[in-house]
Structure 1
Amino acid sequence: MAEQKHHYSSEPEHYILSPESEPFLERLFFNNRFLVLLILTALTAVFAYGLTKVKLDSSIEKYIPLNHEYIQNFLVHKDSMKNGVANVKISVEVTDGDIFTKEYMETLSKINDDVFFINGVDRSGMQSLWTPNVRWTEVTEEGFQGGPVIPSTYDGSPDSLEKVRQNVLKSGQVGRLVANNFRSSILDVPLVELDPETGKKLNYQEFSHDLEEKIRAKYGSEQYRIYITGTPKKLGDLLDGAIKIGFFFLAAAIATAVLLYLYSRCIKGTLIPILASLIAVVWQLGALALMGYTVDLYSVLVPFLVFAIGISHAVQIISGIAIEAGKGENKLMAARKAFRGLYVPGMLALMSDAMGFLTLLFIDIGVIQELAVSASVGVAMIIITNLVLLPVIMSYVGISDSGIRHAEKTEKSEPKLWKFLSHFATRKVAPVPIVIAIAMAVVGFQVSQDLKIGDLDKGAPELRADSRYNLDNDFMVSNYSTSSDLLVVMVETAKEQCNSYKVMDAVDRFMWHMENVPGVQSTASLVTVSKLVTKAMNEGNLNWSALSRNQTILNTSIQRAPSALLNPDCSMAPVIVYLNDHKAETLETAVAAVEAFKIDYDDSVDEKYFGYRIPEIEQAIENGEIDSVPVRFQLASGNAGIEAATNQVIADAQNTMLIFVYVVVFLLCFATFRSFTAVACIIIPLALTSILSQALMTYLGIGVKVATLPVIALGVGIGVDYGIYIYSRLEVMIIAGKSLQEAFLETLKSTGKAVSFTGVTLALGVATWMLSPIKFQADMGILLTFMFLWNMLGALILLPALAHFLLSPERIIKRHKQRHGDIAPAG
């Protein structure tokens, strides 16, 4: 705080200050103004260069919790798993007739060839009616017969088309690669992790564009319709939508400029804050690029926040300069006094913002952690651009005469709204907002108890229901029997033992267990193949649709099993669980069922036995080290398994993060104001907003997930700014000898106006997100707009009511004298 050497007065703004009383930072910046501008200009050039290095990142790994047990289990078998998240399905539908026509098969063949040569496709694992790995099998009197669904003799004639039809029926692909109504078929396209040409991670946005240009645009017509789903395609669509939000940024900037001019009535007081905030955005993006960070779906939103936060703090500076200029100060002194009075609360508010963002580091998901770093770097840049660069520039250019006259008029006027709000600091009115707040907190808490973790909508909830991707997904779900939501459980055993009776029997029991779980459509595994083949070998008799205890029969039954159902050394056999959807409740039920089976069945044996081969296992059994072949069930892979792990990470970190952000805000506020009651006045409105925001999420059907979890920290970290500015000014007025109501009225006439403008500006900055084609961005926009506006109302209405009951003006004055002696605070 400044050490102004004078006595208390009812007019704290009119103190005569000696150079020695000026704060060190004020002297440092304003006595070396030209040097400061020169250094900041050089930094702007450096970060502007960094801005040219900014890249969008489409890596899937950033969106999943890599350190979670489920993901670690998946990574162990990643190379042999065919049911990970990097798969795309392309369905080709004929609008008239069915797929068994010469024209359709020719079109499908061309699409198959084009997809085969798209960069990033794992060609060895690709499946369609035209790939040789999609086969039919039957048992005849002469034994097993089979071959590719489309044989080498195919020539498009009616006879060959009929042969294809028969082969499709024998292949077991109806409902999987071929639609139940025979009007469409699927190309199942796995992707490689690294781009084979560049050696870098595959760019899913570019891959998505290739699919659109080379497949959908080329072959889509009135006769043939193309549908594309899969996590990589969804991610590509999300990144395309993220780029479009640049228009929302421009709209928010223009609207903010208009509001800022109406607020300041000064062209310079409008353009320079916007310039300073834009420089903060350039610094933030440039610094992150130079540090090696990339921009993803979540961090692309941070420039919005940085700009909005920058404007909100700039308003306080411009308002302070205008007020000082209206009292006759020259440009330099007006800027210095505004800085002197606001740098402490400004620094506190921005540090609270940064610490609120950093609490996101508790979430062990790459995109959220990078969002934390990105936002914290942005706030650090605002501290320099808005608390240093802005006042230094204004010390040269000053406020225009029209801006000064507007500030004088505002300062002298006593709007009815401010007079009305000042009554909330009186004994008669103060209980009203407190009682209402308590009632709202109780109701909000009750409603928020139904808040769910994870997705609550079908399809891709990150995109709008009418998006192209979700329409494509609806087509897939409606026309094929197998769900696109897969939970893959990895059954581990010793090497070459995945086809042993004990392991197969355990898998069989597990499949029966899961097929009776609500939300599970069906299951598939090596056991499925074994039963089908054994039945076929016995003339299709249903009595033989069972596991044989004869190891030779078991070995024979899985000779032609797809490679996706066992790994190369037969030490792991995945069980594919098809779910109705990936809603939070469905995932919780399925995962709980797997965990319950594991508890009752899993062997608790030394890890080393799972790496043994047959002779070693036999020797261990003979020595009495183990009873039988070891087997255990490991979660999880598939898109549903990945999402289940993500939901668990979010559920575990949600409360920890929220507690930490409030602890940090409490400590920062207490270190500044040295009063528990002062901190209570600032934090209680924040807590009410947090409760109500969770109730709003419940009401709107928005689950807590990767996209919405950061909102909790952002809302608290940024929302505390209102209370800090209001309380700082209120304390100054109380120390000056005014009653609580008078002090609050004076606070409203200066800081209150700026705070209300700040609330509107912040809300406007994020409200444009509601127009985004990306639903999770729209959800974030709704929640942040609500939290910013509600925090503003809390600071203007609930804070003074709490202050009436919690604050003691005598204690405030006494505490100030103990800390500073007979010295008044900066005005």
Structure 2
Amino acid sequence: MFSKTPAYLLLFFAFALSFSLVVFQPIPQFNYDFETFFPQDDEDLDFYQNFKKQFENDNDYLLLALDNPDGELFRPDFLNRSMRIQEAIQQLDKIDTVISILNLEQPIIGVFGLRNRKVLDWNDEKSLDKTSKNLEQYRSGLISKDGKSILIYVRNAQNISKTDGDILYAAIKAVFKEQGIQPKAIAGKIQTQGDFVQLMQDEFGLFFGCSIVLMLILLVLIFRSVWGVLIPLIVLIIGVAWAFGLLIFMGKPLDVMSVMQPTIFMIVGLSALIHFFTHLIKKLKEGTVKEQAIREVFNELIVPVWLTILTTSLGFISLYFTSIPALQDFGWSTGLGVLIMFGALILVAPGLLYLFPITISRVTDKLERPSVLLFIFSWQLKHKKWIKFSFLGITLACIALGSTLKINGYLLDNLPLNHPIQQDFEYFNTQYGGSNPLEIYVAVGNGATSLLDYEVLQELEKVENKILELFGEGQIISPLTLVKSINQAQNQGDPKAFTMPSRGQRQRMNQWLEVALEKSDSKVISKNRKSGRISARTPDLGSLKMTELRDELNQFVREEIDSDLIYLRWTGTAHLIDKGHRSVTLQMAKGLGVAFLLVGIIVGFLFRSWRISFLLLIPNFIPLIWLLGLMYLLGIEFKLTTAILFTVAFGIAVDDSIHFMSRLKQELSLGKNLIYALKRTFLETGKAIVLTTVILTAGFSLLIFSQFGVTHFTGLLISASMIFALLADLMLLPLLLLPLKKMWENKFKHA
């Protein structure tokens, strides 16, 4: 298969396939949807889907804070310009409602019936002075706590697409530019998705370019030859192009996880090439003819390299068995890309090796001297107990430290703290009670007929007061809000009357409640009055803190709220994302369990021994334990985007073990005893393992410079795991194999 003529045919096919990508250029689509981080096998997700149908999506809004850079907030010229902005936004396509203190009207019930009065009237100085002093109840809601900005709340069309959201956000920014006002802060789904995608596009191109430069530098340092640099570089570029071409043709949009895929594909491909090339150079140095050396190298290494690529791919694909769509997409697409990279290597590399003139430089071995590895091998044989106890001690310490790690994630923890989006969200957290939606479903119990019953409203008031106590001074909207508004209207708009009415006042407002419910577009109560919602905004406190606060509220409801009158249940996007973070232990267990099983089956089939299969998992499980200790020392918390790295790290790290064991099997089959076979394996395969570790570590270290948290931690933790895996494979694995000396030699005695 790898003789000259078939290799040229494969090369021709590869270039024809590459040319087709140039002709039928796939156009990538970038997308970011944080709802893909919802756990899909969760009854709370089904409940939220039904909740949305009955009420509305809780995150289809945009918060715009406006301040007056020229002076006081309540000046007619600033208010007029702000009103023009609000009216222009209201006219845009895909806009549902725009609410602010500028267009808010207070209902007033008098002897002549119901009328509406502007909350803020700036038609003349007297009206402005009178109404602007009466706005305290809107602090933290429509006016900032410090009184220096106003909030324009924009509710866009439900479930707006990424494309429509980008168009709408661009149109809103154009409105501000036309009026000559820059918002103090912006926060919302269409803004976050748009800015995230822009950052993704920038980083995708940046890391792809940097990966090529890094690979080029590594190839120059390792091979010091034209053929040793150009051939791998061509193979890697073609492999990455094929991988992304296929994914794009399959309709896979590029997301926040895709930023690291070019680097992953290239370093996995290069680590495989290293094994072929180092073995080829060894044969050429021994005097083997070039054509024969190429054929023998690919025939000998095709199976072990394929197995390492397969285990790496399966490490990623195992993420498909989690319940988080974002992780599933990343898992199968990266696993498929790794396999495509292997296909590119087999189709392209042999033909190019035949085409290029190959000269061997004696500097090639400079990175790894056999004498150094021989010294290490001899040293570890003399210190077997010390090495074993050292690994055991470090592992137990890491288990102890790792057990104290906390599970905690934030909505925007993929972005650095100094990013403008983070700063805008923080402004709303401090001045407007928060930017994250808080949703609680409310329904009447068996002892009530309507959420507007007086006894039910009393229970609702207790719940709302507890929410304010726990989550801050944000604005709450619920069925009780409607009742408080009518009570205020019956008292001539007195802000002090925006409270729970007395029983008699409640009875007198029935007719006005019906009118208010017909005109209201807040969607806080169902038509039959039996179900509703408590809706608010909170700061992004992290899943750990939010879970504690939710549990505290749940406990309060169990102890203080009459369940015969009212039933409450947490729902909403923020709740689901927090549940996703809290499920990291389960998600990680699923991914690792599948990865362990698949790798165990492959190794067991390869060596025809389940004992060896189990033994091989030990040095690849240890680096994962050590990662726990490293996370503790660096203060890195568990979340979805860090938990998945354990599965990925295992899939990549096990490659070196398979290379080691494959070469050991080959040496033993030649009739050598275990000690001598281990020595030859350690000296020959050890060089390739060290080189591939250097490449993998350098490649993943590149990702540390990403602004995305998931990419940054991928680079940091997987780079560390590669170093840990190198230590385990070279220092521990040979010592674990020694007690099986008789079994190994009997197994291969007649090979």
TM-score w.r.t. structure 1 length? 0.81
Task: Give the distance between the partners of 2:452 and 2:100, measured in 1 at CA.
Answer: 28
Checking the alignment, whether the CA contact within 8 Å between 2:459 and 2:562 is kept in structure 1 is: no
C-alpha change, 1:790 and 1:309, in structure 2 (3 Å) is same
Task: Give the distance between the partners of 2:596 and 2:540, measured in 1 at CA.
Answer: 36
> 1:344 and 2:278 equivalent?
no
Code of the residue aligned with 2:141 in structure 1: it is R
Checking the alignment, whether the CA contact within 8 Å between 2:429 and 2:538 is kept in structure 1 is: no
Structure 1 segment 339-378 matched on structure 2, within 5 A: 339-378=298-337
SS of the residue aligned with 1:126? strand
Counterpart residue number, 1:13: none
Structure 1 segment 88-167 matched on structure 2, within 5 A: 88-95=62-69, 97-118=71-92, 120=94, 122=95, 124-131=96-103, 134-137=104-107, 146-151=116-121, 154-155=122-123, 157-166=124-133
Counterpart residue number, 1:448: 402
Code of the residue aligned with 2:408 in structure 1: it is G
Task: Give the distance between the partners of 2:117 and 2:260, measured in 1 at CA.
Answer: 52
Counterpart residue number, 1:492: 443
Code of the residue aligned with 1:241 in structure 2: it is L
> 1:186 and 2:151 equivalent?
yes
Counterpart residue number, 2:617: 683
Counterpart residue number, 1:472: 424
Checking the alignment, whether the CA contact within 8 Å between 2:4 and 2:351 is kept in structure 1 is: yes
Moved more, 201-210 or 565-574: 201-210
Code of the residue aligned with 1:686 in structure 2: it is N
Deviation at 1:714, TM superposition (A): 0.9
Checking the alignment, whether the CA contact within 8 Å between 2:7 and 2:350 is kept in structure 1 is: no
Deviation at 1:547, TM superposition (A): 6.4
Q: Among residues 615, 629, 635, which one is paired with 2:570 in the alignment?
A: 635
Q: Among residues 217, 226, 240, which one is paired with 2:184 in the alignment?
A: 226
> 1:429 and 2:383 equivalent?
yes
Task: Give the distance between the partners of 2:716 and 2:215, measured in 1 at CA.
Answer: 18
Deviation digits for residues 470-523 of structure 1, max 9, x if unmatched?
A: 11122222223x222332011135999342446545534544555565889785
Task: Give the distance between the partners of 1:231 and 1:543, measured in 2 at CA.
Answer: 31
Q: Among residues 254, 261, 265, which one is paired with 1:295 in the alignment?
A: 254
Checking the alignment, whether the CA contact within 8 Å between 1:354 and 1:379 is kept in structure 2 is: yes
Counterpart residue number, 1:773: 707
Structure 1 segment 539-550 matched on structure 2, within 5 A: 545-546=500-501, 548=503
Moved more, 526-535 or 182-191: 526-535
Checking the alignment, whether the CA contact within 8 Å between 2:31 and 2:162 is kept in structure 1 is: no
Moved more, 205-214 or 648-657: 205-214
SS of the residue aligned with 2:138? coil
Task: Give the distance between the partners of 1:515 and 1:178, measured in 2 at CA.
Answer: 17
Checking the alignment, whether the CA contact within 8 Å between 1:422 and 1:741 is kept in structure 2 is: no
How many residue pairs are counted as aligned between the two chains?
742
Deviation at 1:83, TM superposition (A): 5.9
Deviation digits for residues 345-397 of structure 1, max 9, x if unmatched?
A: 11111111121112111222222111112111112202211244323432333
Checking the alignment, whether the CA contact within 8 Å between 2:14 and 2:347 is kept in structure 1 is: no
Task: Give the distance between the partners of 1:284 and 1:602, measured in 2 at CA.
Answer: 57
Deviation at 1:747, TM superposition (A): 3.0
Code of the residue aligned with 2:431 in structure 1: it is N
Point out where structure 1 has 5 or more consecutive residues left out of the alignment. 1-25, 605-627, 823-827
SS of the residue aligned with 2:729? helix
Code of the residue aligned with 1:656 in structure 2: it is K
SS of the residue aligned with 2:360? helix
Task: Give the distance between the partners of 1:519 and 1:746, measured in 2 at CA.
Answer: 67
Task: Give the distance between the partners of 1:479 and 1:592, measured in 2 at CA.
Answer: 26
Code of the residue aligned with 1:262 in structure 2: it is L
Counterpart residue number, 2:201: 243
Deviation digits for residues 685-742 of structure 1, max 9, x if unmatched?
A: 2211111223333443433333223312111111111111122223333444556554
Going by fraction, where is helix more abundant, 1 or 2? Answer: 2
RMSD (CA atoms): 3.5
Checking the alignment, whether the CA contact within 8 Å between 1:451 and 1:695 is kept in structure 2 is: no
Checking the alignment, whether the CA contact within 8 Å between 1:138 and 1:145 is kept in structure 2 is: yes
C-alpha change, 1:253 and 1:362, in structure 2 (3 Å) is same
C-alpha change, 1:48 and 1:725, in structure 2 (3 Å) is farther
SS of the residue aligned with 2:354? helix
Deviation at 1:464, TM superposition (A): 0.6
Task: Give the distance between the partners of 1:718 and 1:814, measured in 2 at CA.
Answer: 31
Code of the residue aligned with 1:188 in structure 2: it is Y
Task: Give the distance between the partners of 2:379 and 2:466, measured in 1 at CA.
Answer: 62
Checking the alignment, whether the CA contact within 8 Å between 1:514 and 1:593 is kept in structure 2 is: no
Deviation at 1:307, TM superposition (A): 1.2
Moved more, 495-504 or 703-712: 495-504
Structure 1 segment 653-732 matched on structure 2, within 5 A: 653-732=587-666
Checking the alignment, whether the CA contact within 8 Å between 1:92 and 1:227 is kept in structure 2 is: yes
Deviation at 1:311, TM superposition (A): 0.8
Code of the residue aligned with 1:445 in structure 2: it is I
Moved more, 759-768 or 203-212: 203-212
Deviation at 1:569, TM superposition (A): 5.0
Name the % identity: 20
Task: Give the distance between the partners of 2:245 and 2:24, measured in 1 at CA.
Answer: 4
SS of the residue aligned with 1:125? strand
Deviation digits for residues 453-483 of structure 1, max 9, x if unmatched?
A: 331x6x7222111111111122222223x22
Counterpart residue number, 1:318: 277
Code of the residue aligned with 1:814 in structure 2: it is N
Deviation digits for residues 534-581 of structure 1, max 9, x if unmatched?
A: 477479788983563887446357453652422455443101355453
SS of the residue aligned with 2:98? coil
Counterpart residue number, 1:622: none
Point out where structure 2 has 5 or more consecutive residues left out of the alignment. none
Deviation at 1:149, TM superposition (A): 3.1
Deviation at 1:583, TM superposition (A): 1.1
Deviation at 1:258, TM superposition (A): 1.6
Code of the residue aligned with 2:27 in structure 1: it is K
Code of the residue aligned with 2:571 in structure 1: it is A
Counterpart residue number, 2:38: 64
Code of the residue aligned with 1:486 in structure 2: it is P
TM-score w.r.t. structure 2 length? 0.89
Counterpart residue number, 1:526: 479
Q: Among residues 18, 25, 28, which one is paired with 1:44 in the alignment?
A: 18
Q: Among residues 737, 740, 751, which one is paired with 1:807 in the alignment?
A: 740
Deviation at 1:47, TM superposition (A): 4.5
Code of the residue aligned with 2:264 in structure 1: it is L
Task: Give the distance between the partners of 1:50 and 1:787, measured in 2 at CA.
Answer: 39
Code of the residue aligned with 2:9 in structure 1: it is L
C-alpha change, 1:184 and 1:339, in structure 2 (3 Å) is same
Deviation digits for residues 224-266 of structure 1, max 9, x if unmatched?
A: 6521112332232222221222223222321221211221222
Code of the residue aligned with 2:132 in structure 1: it is R
Task: Give the distance between the partners of 1:166 and 1:137, measured in 2 at CA.
Answer: 18
